[in-house]
Amino acid sequence: MVLLAGCGESARQKAAKLHQKEALHAAAIAARARKEAAAEYTTCKSQLGPLIHALADLEGHLQVGMNHSEYTQRVGDVKVAYNEIPFKSLKLRCLRAGTQAEKALNDYLAASTYWSGCIESLACADSTEKRVLQAKWAGAGTDLVSAEARMAAVKMPVAR
């Protein structure tokens, strides 16, 4: 009796090699996506970081209290940071974070205008006026948190 050994690879071996090749390819794609996301985040952080930092600084000072003069100075600092953003060169995911930061700035600016009007009309002692200001600041704080989250999301690789 003669036994013949099979020639070449079995179907199972071929499938295992194909699976390994596909896994290596997928890992290479994932590594490239992580690298691209990290680079995009670094760029976005350099473009939006000063604005986000200025907004967070303003929010932190509001938490401990500030007077109108201090507030308008800090809002001015945020506006300066905003004016330095190169909007035309922002990538889409960074722009989304920037849009939320811009909403926060607009809320803080609206609160500044409202507070100034309140002082001019001598109506600031009214608890309704204070609630309106606090609501504007709360909206700005929510927009800031959203901007920070969207900026952090830029780190995540995009599924292709």
Please tell me the class of the 11-153 domain. mainly alpha
Give the chain's count of helices (H) and strands (E).
4, 0
Q: What is the mean pLDDT of the chain?
A: 87
Separation of first and last alpha carbons in the chain: 57
* Residue range 35-61, pLDDT digits in tens: 888 889 999 999 999 999 999 999 999
- Residue of 4, 24, 26 lying closest to 160 (CA atoms): 26
Q: Give the distance from CA 3 to its chain's centroid.
A: 68
Identify the residue with better confidence: 97 or 38: 97
